[in-house]
Amino acid sequence: MCSSQIVGNLEMSTQLHGALNSRAISTTPTPTTAKTIRKAYTSIYLFLHTHYLFCLLLILHIISFAVCEIIPTEILSRKEREELREEARDMFYHAYYAYMDNGYPADELMPLSCKGRYRGITPSRGDMDDVLGNFSMTLVDTLDTLVLLGDLSEFEISVKYVIRDVQFDNDIIVSVFETNIRMIGGLLSAHLLSEYLQKNVDIMPWYRGELLEMARDLGYRLLPAFNTTTGIPHARINLRYGMKDDQLKRSTETCTACAGTMLLEFAALSRLTGDPIFEARAHAAMDALWKLRHRGSDLMGTVLNVHSGDWVRRDSGVGAGIDSYYEYLFKSYILLGDDKYLARFNRHYNAVMKYVSDGPLFLDVLMHRPHAKSRNFMDALLAFWPGLQVLSGHLKPAVQTHEMLYQVMQMHNFIPEAFTMDFQIHWGQHHLRPEFIESTYFLYRATGDHHYLQVGKKVLKALQKYAKVPCGYAAVNDVRTGKHEDRMDSFVLSETFKYLYLLFTEPRDLLINLDEFIFTTEAHLLPLSLAQLGNTSYNFRQAEEHNIMDFMRTCPSSNKLFPEKVRQPLRNLVTGSCPRSPATKKLLAVDFQASNADHLRTVYDMGITMVSLGDGKVRLFHSFYNAKSPEDGEMGLMFMEEMIELTKMQSLNQLAQLQAVAYKKDGIKSNDWIALMAGPSHFGPELIEDNFVEGEVIIADPIRACGPVLKNAEKARAKIVIAERGDCTFVSKARVVQSAGALALIVCDNTPGSSGEFQPMFAMSGDGVNDVHIPVVFMFSQEFNKLSAAMHNKPEMQVRIMQMIEFKRWQMTKESKAKNDTITLKATESTEETTTSTSTTMHTTKKTKPDKEL
């Protein structure tokens, strides 16, 4: 097991320890002294003894990091911190009592209407209301925050309210994921804290585990969702009738985070109740998800089919739809002590930092084409990532991404729900989410840097100025206008104000030692001692092959290098007021264009020369001696490595993505097939491995299939339709053809003379809506002309659409079989001829022998 003990001098342990207690994460800041610095460098020396080259390069890179003029962080006095702590406490109570006085026992408070939000009574918001179950969610979600604030009397009263008023036998469809993290997590945390207070503070003598029994009851109500072919749970369930609902039976999709954020709560529920089924189901779901990763990139998509395991959305990032899956991989290792989750996390983390990360930015890519960006904006949920990086020991990138997010927040007062690469607003809402302040808290606990107290102060003042209303705190509908929205999610009390309060509070002032607990994704507290209650998981290293590096940590680093010098180059990332050298903007191989003069100058400075080979091809050569500086030379070497890997990936991807439109050469009875090259699409199902579509072909009417319907829709049913490029988007043509009941669509190019032989094949792009369920391929003009000629000679011709590499494999198998059959046939004929010849010779001998004797 890998210990990740984090202290103020940022000394990261890189050894694999077997002791269970070493998994506890200490976040107590240590003053930077000569002794601690010597200790840090002693650790570096010992580590370099076995990992010299890697660590040396890393440390040199950090030291040589280009910076603007360093501006010292203003130190917050103890008095100011206490004032901010009390202001955070007051903010919590302003929202809490607004809910209790005007909303309880509803699930949420509507702060503008100043009344509760009930499922089935308050006007529906569609899928957003799946979080509601008419089970007083905000109060349950908030119970452990009261303990951290030291308000034990209110905690005891609230626990009694929950036991008295909350019940789950409701004919309501709820989100399995949200019910787990908010309700089961809240009940378990409150139960554990009730027993803790009973034992250590001598209060609540009447408590007999009622909250745990409620959590067990709710857990059993969620279990039917796991009855799927893959073991991955359904996204929704009826609290009373389980999956016995026609609406639920038709729903087969869930998100990766929804399915992968069950284990902490379910494992705790099993270990506290002694019923192993909850933990077993959650482990099985995590195992099923791991098997669905893309084996080439180690990335995951965001939406999948719970029965087939097919990916519905292949976008891969760290934000919405996948965020807490990564979080629960690492935290499951910490809480349960199972190495397999550390190994899986590290594999995914390395893939994310390789393909998704672009410095401090994170843009979604396609899991099966990781060099292709799938969108040009980032969502607010990625703000949790720096906090997770802190816990896993990756401080430098955590500081960088957090700094980028802080600048976005300063630019717009809040971090908008989504923003573009140039930090403009994509979606303007702000729901008072906790992820940014959560990461701020963990960075402060790890570094002791008062910069993060200043960040927290900025967040606190923004909430007070732009979100506070007479009846609680209201979400912001648009950060540009400041218009409010009539919602205050339960996480505002359970997470946002909790982390804000903890940021300004000294650990010694809390009733409990947070180093003995782990926060769930909803900021509920689970004790690390749960690992001692038994573990139903198995030893991962015996179950699957992993490289030892999958279990490794990062190199140790001194507080002397973090985090101020890391933040400084990013200080004006958003505003651009601090001039940055072009050299600090890393040119990625995937972005390089030989026709771009700036790119050519950049690679020249890196010591790279380019020789044209004709046909649009170039050859690159790298030399450290030609580089403008040693740093440029190192960047050039990294660029060349990226280019080599990119070339390999592109070759493999092009081969894997290439489609074949095949038909029989001489008619229906022929066994000889001709395959024409075709390109794939980014929408619709992929024809991979031995999957194919076969049917009669027909030309669309109108030829470009851009009308609302096809004129020959009846004839197109159950056939493969051909349409010409132009007048509307590829995906629009697909929808029109699909509505006619066609099997597939072939789009032919409208540029005469185009051919896949000398033009790069491309994949047709969609519009982000996954409603196309038929395969769609693209053919250049010359390839289509061959198909058209064959169709002219053979009316009602059948074609087969499949992966080109699978067609080649299929043909080779047929040829090999035919060759073996021919050899067998020749061998049989040869045997027959030999037998005949021998028989004839023998007959002749028998005939002539008597003559000679005569």
Contact 12, 35 (CB under 8 A): no
**β-bridge partners, 663:** 674, 799
Catalytic option among 108, 178, 364, 449: 178
Output the DSSP codes for 776-819. Answer: EEEE-HHHHHHHHHHHHHSTT-EEEEEEHHHHHHHHHHHHHHHH
Burial of 358 (0-12, 13-18, 19+ CB in 10 A): middle
Annotated binding residue 521? yes
Q: Is 178 annotated as catalytic?
A: yes
At residue 312, φ and ψ (nearest 5 deg) are -95, -40
d(CA 403, CA 398): 8
In this structure, which amino acid lies at residue 763? A
Residue 754 CA: distances (Å) to CA of 695, 728, 748, 760, 785: 26, 20, 10, 10, 10
Contact 603, 594 (CB under 8 A): no
Rounded to 10°, the helix 395-412/451-466 angle is 30
In this structure, which amino acid lies at residue 380? A
Q: Is 323 annotated as catalytic?
A: yes
Catalytic option among 11, 279, 417, 522: 417
DSSP H/E element including 420: strand 418-420
Residue 176 CA: distances (Å) to CA of 140, 184, 230, 670: 16, 10, 16, 54
Catalytic option among 323, 379, 449, 634: 323
Handedness of CA 570, 576, 579, 581 (dihedral sign): positive
- The residue with tokens 């960006």 is 373
d(CA 513, CA 559): 24
Output the DSSP codes for 314-380. Answer: -EE-SSTTTHHHHHHHHHHHHHH--HHHHHHHHHHHHHIIIIIEETTEE--EETTEEEEES-SEEEG
d(CA 479, CA 424): 11
d(CA 637, CA 618): 17
Q: Is 757 annotated as catalytic?
A: no
Catalytic option among 108, 129, 298, 435: 435
Q: Is 832 annotated as catalytic?
A: no
At residue 262, φ and ψ (nearest 5 deg) are -120, -25
Known catalytic residues?
178, 323, 417, 435
Residue numbers in the known binding site are 521
